[in-house]
Amino acid sequence: VLLSCLVILWESVVAKHLSTLENENIKQITNSSKCYQSANLVKS
């Protein structure tokens, strides 16, 4: 789970630097928030 989170976060960072379509950025942000939530659940 954590590895996939890192991949999603990395893709999000790369996407921002490459200035991709806003829709793609929104998807990445949504996935990242889900990732953070799942990571927090794992920690607790």
Domain, as residue range, for 10: 2-43
pLDDT per residue as tens digits for the range 12-23 = 777 666 655 566
Instruction: Give pLDDT, residue 23.
Output: 61
pLDDT per residue as tens digits for the range 26-38 = 677 777 777 777 7
The mean predicted confidence, pLDDT, of the chain is 71
Q: How many residues does the chain have?
A: 44
Rounded to whole angstroms, the Cα distance separating 32 from 37 reads: 9
The amino acid at residue 40 is N
Q: What is the pTM of this model?
A: 0.33
Residue with tokens 């630097």: 17
* Number of structural domains the chain divides into: 1
